[in-house]
């Protein structure tokens, strides 16, 4: 039996891990209210010998982090260090989820795990700090970077596009940012597979659905996927929608290290999106 402790259980990724589960796996999901990962004593009490700790807890308010970096540091760097210290101390294993924002976003080819980092936002800086804290405290830990994660529920990009296709005649979406849309259900499956592979060495891996798209491409695919006219989605530039935190222009992460570790590649993003839309209730797509 594999015992997995999932932090940040109130979030979309952790929720999918818990719902998906796996044969021979016992999952304890703890929300931020259940476990404050910045509380060293609470973390010591929660982490048991032999656990696989999957850290999905994160400060993900990208724009707010620009003026609240201390809070982002606490959750994205200090908390992961405390978790890593705890797993190293008792012989547990840590899988820590990170982000494409650790890169500058100015590449033209998919980022490899050992490519130079260069975050341009407070959020990216704190997530990179978290990666470094984790691997320094527990070299056997695995950092998994991902990008453009969605469920189609709540306020993520796909859910927003579903709402806007009901409310507006046309929608303008940026066409100069490129990434790999990643269905949380698929990513959860990959993380569960990794949790069951203690032979995978510590270090950094990348996991996203395969292929690349712009936000504009993704929006059009959402519209088409629910029978709406994709021509209602109009392209625009990042400059048309300035944000406090600059978004990476290029966020495609290479799956090479993931495949080299013998882990199952995540399927193409368009196939995953079709399944995501099919799983939603009619009220979300009508």
Among 59, 101, 111, 123, the active-site one is 123
Q: Quote the tokens at residue 28.
A: 């304890």
Q: How far is residue 163's CA from residue 175's CA, in Å, rounded to a whole number?
A: 20
pLDDT at 285 over 80: no
Please identify which residue in the block is written with the tokens 């698929």.
186
Q: What are the tens digits of pLDDT across the range 163-214?
A: 999 999 999 999 999 999 999 999 999 999 999 999 999 999 999 999 999 9
CB atoms within 10 A of CB 124: 27
Q: pTM for the complete prediction?
A: 0.97
Is 111 part of the annotated catalytic residue set? Answer: no
Q: What is the pLDDT of residue 284?
A: 72
* Architecture in CATH for domain 2-152+182-211+251-267: 3-Layer(aba) Sandwich (3.40)
Closest to 192 (Cα-Cα) out of 279, 141, 263: 263
């Amino acid at each position: 039996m594999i015992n997995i402790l999932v932090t940040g259980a109130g979030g979309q990724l952790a929720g999918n891990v818990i719902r998906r589960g796996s044969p021979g796996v016992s999952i304890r999901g703890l929300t931020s209210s259940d476990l404050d990962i910045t509380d060293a004593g609470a973390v010591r009490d929660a982490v048991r010998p032999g656990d696989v700790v999957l850290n999905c807890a994160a400060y993900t308010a990208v724009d707010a982090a620009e003026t609240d970096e201390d809070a982002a540091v606490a959750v994205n760097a200090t908390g992961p260090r405390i978790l890593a210290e705890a797993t190293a101390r008792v012989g547990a294993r840590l899988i820590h989820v990170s982000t494409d924002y650790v890169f500058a976003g100015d590449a033209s080819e998919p980022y490899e795990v050992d490519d130079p980092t260069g975050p341009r936002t407070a959020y990216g800086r704190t997530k990179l700090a978290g990666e470094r804290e984790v691997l320094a405290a527990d070299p056997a830990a695995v950092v998994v970077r991902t990008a453009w994660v969605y469920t189609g529920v709540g306020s993520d990009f796909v859910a927003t596009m579903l709402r806007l296709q009901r409310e507006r005649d046309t929608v303008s979406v940026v066409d100069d940012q490129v990434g790999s849309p990643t269905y949380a259900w698929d990513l959860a499956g990959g993380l569960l597979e990794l949790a069951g592979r203690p032979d995978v060495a510590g270090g950094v891996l990348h996991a996203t659905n395969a292929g690349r798209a712009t936000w504009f491409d993704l929006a059009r695919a959402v519209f088409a996927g629910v029978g709406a006219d994709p021509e209602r989605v109009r392209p625009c530039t990042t400059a048309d929608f300035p944000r406090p935190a600059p978004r990476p222009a290029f966020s495609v992460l290479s799956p090479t290290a993931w495949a080299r570790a013998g882990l199952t590649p995540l399927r193409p993003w368009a196939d995953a999106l079709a399944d995501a839309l099919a799983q939603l209730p009619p009220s979300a797509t009508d």
